[in-house]
Amino acid sequence: MLGRFLGWTHHAASKQAMTDSSGDLLRVVQVTKVFQMGEVILEALKDVSLDIYEGEFLVVLGPSGSGKSTLLNLIGGLDRPTVGHVLYRGMDLSTFSHGKLTWYRREVIGFVFQFYNLISNLTAIENVMLAANLVTSPLDPYEVLEKVGLRGRANSFPAQLSGGEQQRVAIARALVKNPPLLLCDEPTGALDDVTGRQILRLLLDLCREMKKTVVLITHNTAISQMADRVVRLRSGRIVEVFHQPHPLPPESIQW
Ligand SMILES: Nc1ncnc2c1ncn2[C@@H]1O[C@H](COP(=O)(O)OP(=O)(O)OP(=O)(O)O)[C@@H](O)[C@H]1O
């Protein structure tokens, strides 16, 4: 039970991690990621092991260059580890064919990025519908737009929406696919603090009410106060994992 809250950091346990998924959504097992640029070899992640549990709000905290995006890319099936494994419900992503990895990115992961990445010549509802068309069992795009608080703005283009509203569209686009896991890369990084807290509230509500697992990466220490669990990265290594039994509501967070 203790290991559940501390995460998966012990070498001796890694072999068991490969076979015993015990209800965890995702396992990162002894992952190292090396980038080579000419003669320069850079270890972006060094022997990282971590469990991600169904329905938790997990914040991965670390300074610039600590390996946060690299970790998110591996979890999201956008890149492969140099060493080690990422397991989704006990299935090793490294054994997935190209087609199965595409399925994984479409059906399992909802990505939310710092700069929204909306298609500028499509309206809000069209951006959401585009994602809905990728999956087998999407939610209703209009209902999802309503859920994120954008009822009435369905026919607006991104340029006609504020930053916070654009991020809501981006969250709706991730959510409409009804994935179990939302991966959020600095989702409030381009927003003022009031709007940022509203977006964090929305993500927390999706976690609590719709049972989505949320993994949010940030360099902003204050945001970690709302997490069920916090993972701290430094220089490609996990230096701390801790559980917060009484996370703060986003409205109480100051930065
Ligand atoms: N595709 C790549 N090719 C070469 N080096 C890379 C690549 N991606 C990341 N890196 C390097 O790996 C290290 C970790 O980068 P990463 O983007 O994961 O950090 P980060 O914690 O997300 O930083 P930030 O908060 O600035 O986005 C950095 O030194 C970075 O330069």
Atom of ligand 1 nearest to the CA of 79: 1
When pLDDT is cut at 50, 70 and 90, the band that residue 4 belongs to is very low
- Closest CA relative to residue 112, chosen from 56, 49, 166, 42: 166
Residue 65 beta carbon below 6 angstroms from any ligand 1 atom? yes
pLDDT tens for residues 50-86? 999 999 999 999 999 999 999 999 999 999 999 999 9
Q: Which of 31, 33, 36, 70 to mutate to test the pocket of ligand 1 (most atoms within 8 A of CB)?
A: 70
What is the Cα–Cα distance from 104 to 76, expressed in whole angstroms?
8
ipTM value = 0.97
195-219: average pLDDT: 96
Q: Ligand 1 centroid vs 112 CA: distance in angstroms?
A: 18
Q: Ligand 1 centroid vs 2 CA: distance in angstroms?
A: 31
Q: Ligand 1 centroid vs 42 CA: distance in angstroms?
A: 9
Residue 253's alpha-carbon distances to 10, 196, 202, 227, 228, in angstroms, are 33, 10, 14, 11, 15
When pLDDT is cut at 50, 70 and 90, the band that residue 20 belongs to is very low
Cross-strand bridge partners of residue 149: none
Which structural domains are found in the chain, ordered by start?
Answer: 54-82+93-252 (3.40.50.300)
pLDDT tens for residues 146-165? 999 999 999 999 999 999 99
What is the pLDDT, as a whole number, of residue 132?
Answer: 97
Task: Using the predicted structure, report yes or no on whether residue 14 has a pLDDT greater than 60.
Answer: no
pTM of the model: 0.90
Task: Using the predicted structure, report yes or no on whether residue 185 has a pLDDT greater than 90.
Answer: yes
When pLDDT is cut at 50, 70 and 90, the band that residue 255 belongs to is confident
Residue 66 beta carbon below 6 angstroms from any ligand 1 atom? yes
User: How many helices and strands in the chain, by DSSP H and E?
Assistant: 8, 10
What is the pLDDT, as a whole number, of residue 1?
Answer: 37
